Structure 1
Amino acid sequence: RRISSMIGAGFAHLLMIVGAVSLIWGAATGTFFGFTPYKPPIPIDLSEESRTFMMSLSFTIGAIHLSLAQCWQAVRHYPDLRFLNKLGWAAFIWGMYGVVRMFVLNEPMNWETPWPYLLLTGATLAIGFAAPSRNPVKMIGLGLAAFPLSMLSAFSDVISYVRLMAVGLASSVLAVSFNDMALGMEFWPLTVVILLFGHGLNLGLALIAMFAHGVRLNMLEFSNNLGMQWIGYPYQPFLQRVTQEHKP
């Protein structure tokens, strides 16, 4: 309670969730400060296979996150026909997920996989119901006009989640490097100092990176797919304000 009153209840709850998830992931991967004391159910190391798995997991998290945002919009728009547009984008995002896996992970993408069907179905709904109108030509025309930029945005949004893998990989490399450096010392007090300083620094950097990238993914990619609009005031650094003094 004392810590919660100092940093705020919301931030305290966030730290508790982050700590719990970190412990669960550490136990699942068997990684504790760069050491692997037992054979984990999800083996993670610095091999190419592990990097591929982490990238795949990051893209999967991204597709789930973004498609949930589009489905959220669909619920808000229902029963307006624009809810079909949002469902279409949710399906299209999963199709783009397949495109990203093809380009980044060299996985196949053909008619035996679900990705082309998701792209076609999603694009049809996204174009056809972007601006519902009694005039079908106008409706399809407006949908086609808005589609290219939104399509590129969907691709970049999904691939942006690779930063999750990069943060985890950087933290793992630092942990292993500090362990190798410390254990290579023959003077044990210096070994303890290097371990405490190195892992403390690594934890601090990991927390900063985690919150920074988490905020970015929520404020930009997720909010964009949620249709959230941010308001504020215009940036005018050279604006001169003139104040008038009223004399009695």
Structure 2
Amino acid sequence: MIIPMEKITILIFHKVKQAFLSRLQDLGVVHIVHDAHDVSDDILKNMEKRMQAGHAFLKAARKAKNKRGRIYTSAISPKTTGQKEKIEDVFSYVKSYQKIKDAVDKITDKTVKLERDIRNVAPWGELDVDYIKKLKDARLNMRFFICPIKKFKEIMGEDIYCRQISRDKTYVYFVVFERDKRVELACDEFFYPEKNRKDMETESAALRKEKKEKERLIDKLFARAKMVEEYLNKEKTAFAYLSISRNLPAAAENTVYIINGWVPRPQKQKVEAFLENEQAYFYFSQAKPEDMVPVFLLNNRFTRLFEPITNLFSLPKYGTMDLTAFFAPFFTLFFGFCLSDAGYGLVIFILTLFLKRKLPSDKKPLLNLVMILALSTFLFGLVAGNFFGVDLARIGGIKKVVLFNQEQLFNFALILGVIQVLFGMFLKAVSRIRQFGPAAGLSTFGWIIMLCGLLCLTVTKTSVWAIYAGITLILLFNDLKANIFIRIGKGLWELYGISGVFGDVLSYIRLFALGISSSILGLVVNEIALEFRHIPVFGFLITFVILVVGHTGNLLLSGLSSFVHPLRLTFVEFYKNAGFEAGGKAYNPFRQIK
């Protein structure tokens, strides 16, 4: 649900500007509209750089925590020492991290190059670089070549002085000695490094040791991650304050500043009470159609879990309808339909329960969404009769649970498509009635009546009158601002789009197709694995490995498809028929960031 917004205009005297903005930020309710900050402002530019560096530090700390299983908390907390560290001291941890990280990156690059050189010189044995230089000083040049074994036999017959150093199954590694005349060979030449192999190995070991020491220093810095996070929140708060303070429009020879913003209607009284006690003049007004009103979504606990999916596409435009609550049940059902394996649903549910204990609390809403999708997969897998690729309909006591065969699943996918498309049209009609009045929704209701009449033709011939009624509404009410002749012309053009509606419904067949493909892949994995069970000694082990690897791959592949294709049905078919209008800007109040 989109919370209604009230436009607020506040006038303040220039002398109270700083103190007023500070208290307004503490209130944390008003979404202030202001121009983008001046990119040439050095203070704001430096703050942005510090925030970017802080984000990089925290991102690396979280990544290290997940990799090493450590919890990074401040080793010297301000509460335990009785004093707070200065902002400059806290940011010094970030700067130290950047400096050490750059050094680690350079060491890594050097190590990779050295190890590559060590691998490349391995076929040449222990050669002395100094000895090669002495030969060169004595006008005896030593060159290194690599060629196929067959090619080397041809080279041996030529009038050159060469010696084989080593060979493998394919190539020969050999050297050619030349004094005055340069030898030309159709082979790959290898340029020996300027260091001995032992020296390179020693240097590589020293670099690895140095890298570990620096990584330990980074770990110590990561122990201050909590303090850096607090610093970053303060920096964000200060940045928001300065960017607004420096860009407020002024009037009356810069003695009065104007603040324009938006307030959620439920918070209006709170803001009024605050402003009554301030040296400020203010007034509220209603939003106009041309205003860029921020969007604040407020949904129940279940629907709120699906808001990240809404944000993947776009927030709805203010004044339209938030479709999150309406697509959430469909999306849950579609995911289970696409994956449709009770075993996979059970695995996802158990893994999610485990992760809920390990991951921070801010990740729990996402995990709760995954658990709901896992339950949908489990239940749909039971009624579709699929458990890790095993057909439950063939098992005597369990087959009673199976409700659908493949033909029924195909029909069910089409029925779901019809329901969601018609439901989307109904929401579009309701939204237009709310925005523009009762007559604005008649054309869309005409589509619903006409399509329902077409569906009922197989049952009763009298539904033809519903088709005629729907067509009449489409022809007469498609554009309320146009005259009757233009309306009829536009209506005829709209009726041409009925083929698109049928195409939208047919798109839902993908639900059936993905569910079947997941089941077939699981069945194939089982059949391949069972072929190895009769091998003596290791048969059951090989079977187990194939089952684990095969079903894991199928789960990952099918799980991705089960997420992407319901997204497609939601953002294309459902959003189109529901008349979704994108372009909403998120409500972002001027507040203290904690």
Alpha-carbon distance in structure 1 between the residues aligned to 2:450 and 2:362: 41
* Post-superposition offset of 1:218: 0.8
| Aligned partner of 1:131 among 467, 479, 487 | 479
Which of 440, 444, 463 is the matching residue for 1:82? Answer: 440
More strand by share: 2
- Aligned positions of 1:24-39 closer than 5 A: 24-35=379-390, 36=392, 37=395, 38-39=398-399
Q: Which amino acid aligns with 1:147?
A: L
Structure 1, 159-168 or 78-87: larger mean CA deviation = 78-87
Structure 2-normalised TM-score?
Answer: 0.34
Structure 2: tracts of 5 or more residues without a match? 1-355, 585-594
| 2:440–2:477 contact (8 Å) kept in structure 1 | yes
State the distance in 1 between where 2:363 and 2:450 align. Answer: 40
Decide which moves more: 15-24 or 30-39.
Answer: 30-39
1:42 Cα deviation from its structure 2 partner: 3.3
Which residue of 1 is the match for residue 503 of structure 2?
Answer: 156
Q: Secondary structure of the equivalent of 1:81?
A: helix
Q: Which residue of 2 aligns with 1:226?
A: 578
Paired residue type of 2:524: S
1:136-187 Cα shifts (integer Å, max 9, x gaps): 3332222112321x21211111111110011001001101111111112121
Alignment-derived partner of residue 425 in structure 2: 70
> Residue deviations 1:41-69, cap 9 Å, x none?
4355xxxxx33222211111111111111
1:203 and 1:115 mapped to 2: Cα distance? 46
Deviation at 1:30, TM superposition (A): 3.3
2:550 aligned to which of 177, 198, 202 = 198
What's the counterpart of residue 40 of structure 1?
400
Structure 1: distance between partners of 2:370 and 2:421: 24
Q: Secondary structure at the match of 1:39?
A: coil
Q: Which residue of 1 aligns with 2:146?
A: none
* Partner Cα distance (1:206, 1:114) in 2: 45
The 1:86/1:190 distance shift into structure 2, 3 A limit, reads same
1:18 is matched with: 373
- TM-score, structure 1 length as denominator? 0.75
Counterpart Cα distance in 2 of 1:199 and 1:115: 49
> Which amino acid letter does the alignment assign opposite residue 360 of structure 2?
S
Task: Supply the distance in 2 between the matched residues of 1:209 and 1:74 (Cα, whole angstroms).
Answer: 32
Q: Which amino acid in structure 2 is aligned with residue 127 of structure 1?
A: L
1:211 equivalent in alignment to 2:558 = no
**What's the secondary structure of 1:142's corresponding residue?**
helix
Residue by residue over 1:101-156, the C-alpha shift from the partner in whole angstroms, topping out at 9 and shown as x without a partner, is xxxxxxxx6463787566444333333321135843332222112321x2121111
Aligned partner of 2:475: which letter?
Answer: I
Give the residue type in structure 2 aligned to 1:86.
Answer: T
Q: CA RMSD in A?
A: 2.8
For 2:490, the equivalent position in structure 1 comes to 142
Residues 1:7 and 1:198: Cα distance change in structure 2 (over 3 Å): farther
Greater shift, 2-11 or 68-77, is seen at: 2-11
Tell me what 2:125 maps to. Answer: none
Distance, in Å, in 2 between the alignment partners of 1:118 and 1:42 is 38
Query: Between the two proteins, what is the percent identity of the paired residues?
Result: 28
Gap change, CA 1:111 and 1:2, over 3 Å in 2: closer
Residue deviations 1:44-97 (CA, integer Å, cap 9, x gap): 5xxxxx33222211111111111111111111122331212122223444466x
1:169 to 503, 516, 537: 516
Deviates most, 202-211 or 87-96: 87-96
Amino acid paired to 2:498: M
Partner of 2:289: none
Instruction: Give how far 1:3 is off.
Output: 5.4
Does the aligned pair in 2 maintain the 1:128–1:140 contact within 8 Å?
Answer: yes
Whether contact under 8 Å (2:382, 2:402) holds in the other structure is no
- Bigger relative CO (Cα 8 Å, ≥ 6 apart): 2
CA 1:77–1:230: 2 relative to 1, 3 Å: closer
Are 2:527 and 1:180 aligned? yes
Q: Residues 3 and 66 (structure 1 numbering): CA distance in 2 closer, same or farther, change over 3 Å?
A: farther
1:166-213 per-residue CA deviation (whole Å, 9 max, x = no partner) reads: 100100110111111111212110110111111111111111111110
Change (3 A) 1:183 1:62: same
Q: Is the 8 A contact 1:110 1:116 kept in 2?
A: no
Structure 1: gaps (5+ residues): 45-49, 100-108, 233-248
Aligned residues: 216
Residue pair 2:417, 2:505 contacting (<8 A) in 1 also = yes
Over 3 Å counting, the alpha-carbon distance change for 1:92 and 1:161 in structure 2 is farther
Alignment pair present for 1:5 and 2:368: no
